[in-house]
Amino acid sequence: MRFGKQLFARDQGNYGDYRTRTTLAKKVTGDCSCPSDWWPCKHVHALRETWKISPQSFFDLDQFLAELFDQPKAKLVEAIGQIVRKSPECRQVLGVRGFEDEDEDENENENEEEYWGYR
């Protein structure tokens, strides 16, 4: 997936599934949840190389979000209902009472890092 100047991927590795993130910059930056002692690991390099060879294969989150603005409200509400049924943990993001973070402002980046597996 591409979002802004970042690339994200889930990788199936020898020791489980890893979450890999890198930026679209000349300097290699990024994170991976794999147990490699090397940095950047082979997953970061593979993600960058895949982008270089086949950028059209990435889900473009920016484009997808822009297209949502053209959707009717009823269709979006129906989609949100389906999302909540399949992933009840997303209620927190939607502001459902009882599912808030203790302190959302301080934990926003921490939650993203936890979701992507970079703790």
Sheet with 16-23, strands from edge to edge, namely 2-3, 6-13, 16-23, 30-32
78 domain residue, yes or no: yes
Residues 8 and 48 in one domain: yes
Residues 53 and 19 in one domain: yes
Q: Could you identify the residue written with the tokens 């002692």?
A: 37
Quick one: which of 61, 87, 3, 60 has its CA closest to 21?
A: 3
For residue 119, pLDDT beyond 50: no
99 domain residue, yes or no: yes
CB 20 within 8 A of CB 44: yes
53 domain residue, yes or no: yes
Residues 81 and 52 in one domain: no
| Domain total of the chain | 2
62 domain residue, yes or no: no
Residue 77 has a pLDDT of 94
Q: List alpha helices for the chain, DSSP H.
A: 42-53, 61-68, 73-86, 104-116
Give the residue numbers spanning the domain of 90. 71-116
64 domain residue, yes or no: no
Give the span between the Cα atoms of 99 and 91, in whole angstroms. Answer: 6
CB atoms within 10 A of CB 16: 11
CB 19 within 8 A of CB 10: yes
Residues 77 and 52 in one domain: no
Band of the pLDDT at 30, cuts 50, 70, 90? very high
Whole-model pTM: value is 0.69
97 domain residue, yes or no: yes
Residues 6 and 43 in one domain: yes
Q: pLDDT tens digits, residue range 46-82?
A: 999 999 999 999 999 999 999 999 999 999 999 999 9
